[in-house]
Structure 1
Amino acid sequence: MTLILDILVGENVLNPMTKYVNGGTNSINRKSKTLVFHILVLVAHFLPVNLLSSSDKLSRAVNYLSRYGYIPPVFTDSTASNQLTKEIVSQGLWDLQDFFGLNRTGILDDATLRLMATPRCGLPDKVYRRSNRRKRYTLMGSKWTHSNITYFIRNYSENIGQHMDKKRVKSDIRMALDVWSKHSPLTFTGIKSESADIIILWGKRRHGDKQPFDGPGGTLAHAYTPGPGIGGDTHFDDDETWTAGVDHGTNLLQAATHELGHALGLGHSRLTKAVMAPTYKGYEADLALDEDDIRGITYLYKFMTINTKAHGSKHPTRNTMNELCHLDEKIDTMFTDAYLNTYVFVDSKFWEITEEGISSGYPKSISSRWPRAPSNIDAALNYNKHTYFFKASSRLSFNGSKYWRYNKHTLIADYPKSISKGFAGVPDNIDAAFMWKGKIHFFKGKNYYKYTTDLARANKVVGKPISKWRGVPNDITAAFQDKKNKYFILKKGKYYKLRSETKEVDTRAKPPYPRPFKDWWLNCGKPPIGLNVFL
C-alpha cells in the first residue's frame, strides 16, 4: 500500500497542484487506484490532524471537500473519483478558502487544515456542479408552504441526565424554534406523532438515513430541507456531549438553532458571526440571530399569506422601497472608490450601496459630492486612488468624450479633458470601465480595450471581442469591483459575477447568473449577501 500511496499523492502532498491522480502513466489500473484512494480517505478521516502524515492530510482534505460540496462526491460517484484531478482539488481548496475568508491559495496550508478540523454542521456549504450532468440532489432551495409547522422529538440522547435532562432538551428545542418564529410568519407546535413536519432525533454513525455521523467531533448534526418524508427532519450526533449553559461540550441550543434554520430552508452563510455559519463557534451565553440570518428567513417567507401569528400580531409586509428599486434598469454606471465605498449613478443622482442594501439618506445629487461632475455618467473608475468619470459629448458636439478626475472629492485643475488626450487609443462613448489585474479595461458595444500606459503602444490599442470574456454580454451598463475584490458586470437590471482568476462568468453559482440586481444588491426584497438561500 505504501507504493500505491506514493503514486497516488506524488511528492509534494501539501500542494494539490502535484499530480496525485495520474490518468494512466503508471501500471496500476484506474479501478485499483480508486479503491485504494477510498480506503486511504476512510482511514485518514478518523485520525487526529496532528497524527496524520502528509498524504493522510491530503486524503482527509479530499474527503472534506467532497463531503461539503467543493469537489465531486468521491464516495458515491465512481466516475467523479476517476476524473479527480489536481486542478479540481486545487479549485475546491480555493473555493473553500474563499467561502471562509481565508487566504485564497488553492493549497492545503495550515490555516485550511485547522478549519477542516473544526466541529461543524454536516450539510454541504454548496452543491458541486458539473456542466454535463444534472445535479444529484438538492439540500436547500425549498420552503414550507404552510405557516404552522409541527415537530416531534422522537428520542433523546443516550447520555440524557448526565449534562441536561429531557425537560431542558424540550426547552432548548422550543427556544431554537422561537428564535426563527420571531422574524417570520411561522409558528411551531409540538406533537407526539410521526406525521410531524419536523422529526428531531439523536443517533450514532449509521442512523437510518444516507448521511452517517462520524463519531465525536467533526460533524455535530444535520438537517433536511423542507418537504415530505425526511424533509425538515433534524438529526443530532449522539457521540457528542450535548450540554446547556456551560462552556464545555456542544451547546444544544446553538446547534439546534442552526440546524432548524436548515429545516426551514436556509443554507450556510459566509459570515462567521451568523448563526447559519457552517462551523461551531463554542458556547455563547446570549444567542441571537445575526442581521444576515434575519434577512434570510425574512426573504424566504416574506410572501407567505397569513393574517396573524400565534400571539395575534400582524405579520409585516414588504418594507417601503427606495426609488432606486424602480430605476434598476436605468442605472448609468457604478463603481467602488479608493475608500471601498460602492456607488450607483442614475441621471443626476447617486446612491451608496452596502452589504445591507441602500444606505439611508440617499439619493443625493452627484454634484454635492463631486463638484462640476456631469449627469448621465457613462463610466466611473477608481484608478491610482483617483476617481474618474467618463461622459460622451452631445450629438451636436464634435469634441469627443471627456473625463473628469477627482482627488477624493476635489476636481483636479484643468479637468475635464478629452479622453483621446488622457487615454490615447481608447474610443469615445464607452459603456463601462474597471480595473482587471492591475490594468484598465474599457468596454464599448461588442468590444473591450485593454489600456496601456506605454505611450509607444498607446495608439495601437485595438478592440477585442467581448466574447473573450465568456458569458459577458455586449453593450454592458457597468463593470466594477467590490470591496472584497470580486468582479461584476451589470446590464439592464441584471448582474453577472466574474471568476477572479479567468475572464468568464461564474457558471457554478446557484442560482445562476445573471441575477436581478435590485433583489441581491439593493435590498428590494433581496436575499442576504452572506447567506446561500438557494444552493
Structure 2
Amino acid sequence: METIKKAFQYWSNVTNLTFKHTPLEEPDIDIQFIREEHGDGNPFDGRGSNAAHAFFPGKNSISGDAHFDEDEEWSLYQNGTNLLAVAVHEFGHSLGLGHSRSPGSVMSPFFEEFNENFTLHADDIKGIQSLYKNDPSMEINTNVTSTVTISSLTNSLNISTIAVTSDPLEDLNGTIAEVTSETSTTEGTKNSHRKRCHGNTKNCKSDKNRRKHKKHKQKSKKVSKKSERRNTGSDEVDGEFNQDNDNRTSYSLLRNDTGHVKKKICHLKFDAVVDGLNNKTYAFRNEYIYEVASFNIKRRKIRALFRKAPANVSSAVFHPATKELLIFKGKQIWKYNGKKLKKGYPQNITDPRYREPSASVLWYTGLILQFKDNMFWFLDERTLILSDGYPKFSGVYWPNLPLNVDAAVWYKQNNIYFFKDTNYYKLDIVTRSIENGYPQELAPYWLNCRNNKRSKKD
C-alpha cells in the first residue's frame, strides 16, 4: 500500500489534489491487482508483456480505474517490473493525462529502464497542472483490491483481497492506456479487447452509486470534464459565432419572415457533426458550418470561424475535456483551441493504413473511432497511429450500420448517432447495433423543420 500511496504523491506534490484510501463501493479510482480475463475485456497475459492498464476519466463505471497484472514479477527495485514507476504512469492516465512525446517523461508510452530516483518530467508537470491549476483543493477517493506480493531486496508488501467476476458483455476492440514490462524497444501503447459494464452484471457499479459518483464529480469539478491531456487556452467560439462583426464573420439566420426554417435547409446533409462546442451542436456541410439542434438554425463560412480550416471537411470531433476541435480532411488533421489553430497544425497522418474518414467520433477510451466505406479503425490523435489490427470490417462489429456513413457524433455524452444522406441512426452501445425505430429523418430534430414531424429525442 505504501508504494501506491507514494505513486499518488508524485501527482499530489505538484497539484492541489489529495488522495484518500476509502472503503466506498465506487471510489474515484479503483485499483485492482488481477490476472488474465478480469471483466474489462482487456485480459492480462501472465508475466511479461502487458503489465498494467488504466482508463481515462469519464462517466462510465470503469472510468479512472487502474489494473495491474497480478502474475507480473512486481518489484520495488531493479529486478522485475518496478511497481512505483508503472503506478505513477497509470495514475497519470487515471487523472486524465495522455501519452507524452517528450523523452524521459513519466507519461511516455515507453517503459524505460529502472531509475531509483526518477522524477516527473517538466512535460508531466505542465500537463497535470493544466488540468487542475484552476481547481480548489480536491479530494479523490481511491481503493486497492486483490492480492499481490511486491518483491524487493529486503521486504514484501501485501495488498488486500477481492473476487472478480467477468462481465459477459463483449465490447468492440479498442485501445486503452497501458504499459509493457519491456524496455523502450517496445511498441508502447498496445491494443486490447475491452468490455463495458451494462445492465445488472455483477462487475458493474450500481446505478445508485453511479449517480452519487457523478454528483460528487460534478460538485468537485472532477477530471471527467477535463480528461486526456491539456486545455491550453480558453478562447471561445461562441462570441464570434453570434456577433456580426464584419463581412468575414457574419452569419445567416436561416428562417423566413414567418419564423419557419427555409425549405432548402430541410434537405441538408451533414459532412460532420460535433457536440459540446460552446455547449451547442454544429454540423459541417461543404464550406459552411451550421448551428443545429436549435430553434435558431444559423450558418456561416467555416473559414470565417476557423481560420486556415479546409473547406468540405471529411469529418470532425470535439473533445469536451480539452475543448479542442479536430478536423479531418484527406490525410491531414487540424486542431483548434477555441477558434485558433494550434501551432504545428495541420499535421500529416502518415500511418500507411490510414484512409480519409467519412465519419469520426470520440470513443470513451479517448481514441478517435473512424469509418470509411465498410471499414473502421481507432486513431490515437497524439501519435497519429492506428491501433494494431485495424482497419477492420464494420459489418462484424456494427450490425445494421449503413455503409459509408456521412457523419457521427456522441450526442450530449449519452448516445452515438450516425448520419447518412438525410437520415440519422441511433446506436445501441450495448449491442453495437442500430436501435429499433431508426433511421429517422434528420430534418425535424436536427434542423427544426416545422413542416416535418418532429422526431422523438432523448
Q: Which has the higher contact order (CA 8 A, sep 6+)?
A: 2
Higher helix share: 1
Query: What band does the TM-score fall into relative to the shorter chain?
Result: 0.3 to 0.5
Higher strand share: 2
Question: TM-score with structure 2 length normalisation?
Answer: 0.41
Higher Rg of the two aligned structures: 1
Question: TM-score with structure 1 length normalisation?
Answer: 0.35
